[in-house]
Structure 1
């Protein structure tokens, strides 16, 4: 019971979906009001996750493909990352950058797949051959083996870059992602993206030499 504004005793009206601080057990989860409130919240969360995943799915899949070398395997990796994100979606939404957090989860799933099969990133086998084929088709280069060798050397050197430089180069040049999106995924500023590019270029130039 509670007193109204005139001091008279009245019946306290409480939203059944809100916990009663006097009740250590909280609201009855089977109560209709609580159940409807929970269902609505779950649907809203599911909708926000679906929209987020749909926006990023294509790029996640392309990145995973460059790392594991197989489209079906890449799809499995992305599905595993999505399952982890959905399971902890309320926690994910509390992060400073949801895109950066999701990118880290995706990379963990890629690394888990690689560790399970004792394999390094498949960048050399995927991006190098694709790029060489594009050059051959576009420019009709007569020395096909030289083109392929140069591409393999380049992507092999990229795969040996420090992790942050590697991510920037793969996103920016292999997957052709704008600097702003690279910065969003990695949780850094656009000038920092460009700084990583400069350092990566100098490192690649030293490793490959002027002949490349």
Structure 2
């Protein structure tokens, strides 16, 4: 396993696990989804590293898997908003992550995440 991939996993895996557990409702299912996603990411790690944002590539892969597996667990914002805008709300308000941490996790810059957050909140007013 490349050192860069190991470092990436060490940095992201815990928050991925928390997020997926919220979305699917089961720590065991969340663990499996995170492991499968990271396994797929490892297989394509060199290509992911050449992308403009490895964190964004990883987040897109993870959230696509979670959307398929989530069923009716924590669906409300996902029924109304885009997946990315709903994720911003979940990371910020359900998980309590600071804006910078949520932005890093999603592979966005903080100003983009802040704009998405405000847009998502306006939808519910």
> TM over 0.5: same fold?
yes
Residue-pair matches, total: 124
Q: Does 1:203 align with 2:123?
A: yes
Q: Secondary structure at the match of 1:159?
A: helix
Q: CA deviation at 1:85?
A: 0.6
Q: Could you state the TM-score of these two structures normalised by the residue count of structure 2?
A: 0.86
Q: Alignment RMSD, CA only?
A: 1.9
Which structure ranks higher in relative contact order (CA pairs < 8 Å, sequence separation ≥ 6)? 2
User: Who is 1:81 aligned against?
Assistant: 37
Provide, for residues 22-61 of structure 1, a one-character-per-residue CA deviation record: whole Å limited to 9, x for no partner.
xxxxxxxxxxxxxxxxxxxxx5x2x221111011111000
Distance in 2 (CA, whole Å) between partners of 1:51 and 1:167 is: 24
User: Who is 1:167 aligned against?
Assistant: 87
Larger % of helix: which?
2
Q: CA deviation at 1:187?
A: 4.0
Structure 1 portions without partners, runs of 5+: 1-42, 125-155, 206-212
User: Who is 1:123 aligned against?
Assistant: 74
Q: Secondary structure at the match of 1:123?
A: coil
Distance in 2 (CA, whole Å) between partners of 1:198 and 1:90 is: 35
Deviating runs (4+, > 6 A) in structure 1?
Answer: none
User: Who is 1:7 aligned against?
Assistant: none
Structure 2 portions without partners, runs of 5+: none
- Structure 2 vs 1, CA of residues 49 and 189 (structure 1 numbering), >3 Å: closer, same or farther? closer
